[in-house]
Chains A and B, each alone.
Chain A
């Protein structure tokens, strides 16, 4: 029982990070149809920039905010310098561009920072809480709480604010949004900034637990992508559920089956799911029209 609970805690913590990566994917995908393989680099930037700034003497909260800002700016740059000029390229072409961007960002990070692993201090100490025989780190609560806050915040943003509604309208129907006077290009840029910021927050929250380095982005991007697919691509709620589910499955798989194959579990799951539901778990089902 305690063991099961323990796996749940660790699974949900990791799953929350996957959920945030998948959410970033979804925001960008909905706004611009781009599958952004550089999403993991935002997570890396969040962690690495905070580490570097903190090491340079900045107080941790300030460093964290600055890192989120940096990631958002990188998101904007990604859209303006790489995606927007390639407007009209094939979907595969766009995927290749974002992969190029992720290699590029990783390369920069390797030069600006270093190739070492880095750690941040936990926000509220390292003394675990005991819950029904299992333990949970205070930092895990930060991760879960932060994720919940972001999900709620996004919901409010998209449903209640004018600019959020404009982004949502762009995602729903670009042409109609443009006809309604929305500057859809700006909204796409905003989506990239938002995705960058969300990724960075995930990176900052999780670095005290998992460490970070210049190349943690790729695997996170792949798993976030898998999580997004699991939930049905383009569905924000699905992305969050997919992420949490993936985290849990990984934790239990690593615990009961094989920890060496932990990183493969996400893909076994995604393959099995896609074989059974070729459009994702929550994806729309529609026949092709001719």
Chain B
């Protein structure tokens, strides 16, 4: 079954065509990666899918339903969750509260019971906290749950964002460069974590510069360059696509091209 379909998506900022005529489909339960040089439009594509920007052209279908132009909180309710390349952590809250926020849609949100502190609210707080604790254990952060989020290391903050996104129990999880700034050990752990998430049936779209990461884990890979699609296919096919190799060699330095060839 197809979970996410992007049809001829495009958006421009002033003169910059950040995403240009991009179409792809992601099957349920798969890991779909988007790669491309800096400024290729990967984050912008995420911003389109998660409703932060409204596309100038094209549409987005989620499980067959047209969700183009819905605001982010409505998309979240439809099962889209994401993390951010530039961390968007709630620094004024504790680690576990960050994840508890992710449970927002599963909670009673009426004002009067909340202000009265009714027993149902207390019960719900307890349940939310328990669930958040489980999620933190799943992402490997359950030792420092009551510390301020700012006390975590960079790699842990990335896990925290993943935890917060998982708290939503999403159908589709968008991860924007989850391994950025992580050391090799952390990256290896992260690969395991992403696999675990996928095994639970969550569909994952991943933006990542670390080619080893991408090639190891992805079911399909989309290559963007200058906002346009360069190639789309299995990791194998993409790796051998001469255009991709040329693009990487020509414009993006030998290092990543080396990774791309394996």
Chain A positions 276 through 290: 1 when the CB is less than 8 Å from some CB of chain B, otherwise 0: 000000000001011
B82 nearest CB neighbor, chain A only: A290
9 contacts between A and B (CB under 8 A): A287-B13, A287-B53, A289-B86, A290-B43, A290-B47, A290-B52, A290-B84, A290-B85, A290-B88
CA of A197 to CA of B77 in the docked complex: distance in angstroms? 56
Contacts of A290 in B (CB 8 A): 43, 47, 52, 84-86, 88
Contacts of B13 in A (CB 8 A): 287
Chain B positions 1 through 42: 1 when the CB is less than 8 Å from some CB of chain A, otherwise 0: 000000000000100000000000000000000000000000
- The 5 A-B pairs of least Cβ separation, nearest first, read A290-B84, A290-B86, A290-B88, A290-B52, A290-B47
A286 nearest CB neighbor, chain B only: B13
Chain B positions 82 through 94: 1 when the CB is less than 8 Å from some CB of chain A, otherwise 0: 0011101000000
CA of A287 to CA of B56 in the docked complex: distance in angstroms? 15
Contacts of B86 in A (CB 8 A): 289-290
B84 nearest CB neighbor, chain A only: A290
CA of A290 to CA of B47 in the docked complex: distance in angstroms? 8
CB distance from A276 to the nearest CB of B (A): 20
CB distance from A236 to the nearest CB of B (A): 24
Contacts of B43 in A (CB 8 A): 290
CB distance from A139 to the nearest CB of B (A): 47
Q: Give the number of residues in A that approach B within 8 Å (Cβ atoms).
A: 3
A residues in contact (CB < 8 Å) with B: 287, 289-290
A290 nearest CB neighbor, chain B only: B84
Contacts of B47 in A (CB 8 A): 290
Given A289-B86, A290-B43, A290-B47, 7 other A-B residues pairs in contact with their CB atoms under 8 A = A287-B13, A287-B53, A290-B52, A290-B84, A290-B85, A290-B86, A290-B88
B52 nearest CB neighbor, chain A only: A290
Contacts of A289 in B (CB 8 A): 86
CB distance from A72 to the nearest CB of B (A): 40
CA of A289 to CA of B44 in the docked complex: distance in angstroms? 9
CA of A287 to CA of B54 in the docked complex: distance in angstroms? 11
CA of A225 to CA of B88 in the docked complex: distance in angstroms? 32
CA of A290 to CA of B46 in the docked complex: distance in angstroms? 10
A289 nearest CB neighbor, chain B only: B86
Chain B residues 70-106 with CB under 8 Å of chain A are 84-86, 88
CA of A287 to CA of B12 in the docked complex: distance in angstroms? 12
CA of A290 to CA of B84 in the docked complex: distance in angstroms? 7
CA of A287 to CA of B18 in the docked complex: distance in angstroms? 13
CB distance from A284 to the nearest CB of B (A): 11
CB distance from A92 to the nearest CB of B (A): 14
CA of A287 to CA of B44 in the docked complex: distance in angstroms? 12
CA of A289 to CA of B176 in the docked complex: distance in angstroms? 14
CB distance from B76 to the nearest CB of A (A): 15
CB distance from B55 to the nearest CB of A (A): 13
CB distance from B69 to the nearest CB of A (A): 15
CB distance from B171 to the nearest CB of A (A): 22
CB distance from A287 to the nearest CB of B (A): 7
Contacts of A287 in B (CB 8 A): 13, 53
Chain B residues 213-246 with CB under 8 Å of chain A are none
CB distance from A74 to the nearest CB of B (A): 36
Contacts of B52 in A (CB 8 A): 290
Chain B residues 112-159 with CB under 8 Å of chain A are none
CB distance from A288 to the nearest CB of B (A): 8
CB distance from A206 to the nearest CB of B (A): 42
CA of A287 to CA of B47 in the docked complex: distance in angstroms? 11
Chain B residues 168-207 with CB under 8 Å of chain A are none
CA of A51 to CA of B88 in the docked complex: distance in angstroms? 55
CA of A289 to CA of B85 in the docked complex: distance in angstroms? 11
CA of A289 to CA of B88 in the docked complex: distance in angstroms? 11
B46 nearest CB neighbor, chain A only: A290
CB distance from A112 to the nearest CB of B (A): 43
B43 nearest CB neighbor, chain A only: A290
Contacts of B84 in A (CB 8 A): 290
CA of A76 to CA of B8 in the docked complex: distance in angstroms? 58
CB distance from B136 to the nearest CB of A (A): 24
B53 nearest CB neighbor, chain A only: A287
CA of A290 to CA of B13 in the docked complex: distance in angstroms? 14
CA of A287 to CA of B53 in the docked complex: distance in angstroms? 9
B47 nearest CB neighbor, chain A only: A290
CB distance from B177 to the nearest CB of A (A): 12
CA of A64 to CA of B41 in the docked complex: distance in angstroms? 59
Contacts of B88 in A (CB 8 A): 290
CB distance from B38 to the nearest CB of A (A): 14
A285 nearest CB neighbor, chain B only: B14
CA of A289 to CA of B39 in the docked complex: distance in angstroms? 13
Contacts of B53 in A (CB 8 A): 287
CB distance from B249 to the nearest CB of A (A): 29
CA of A287 to CA of B85 in the docked complex: distance in angstroms? 17
CA of A290 to CA of B85 in the docked complex: distance in angstroms? 7
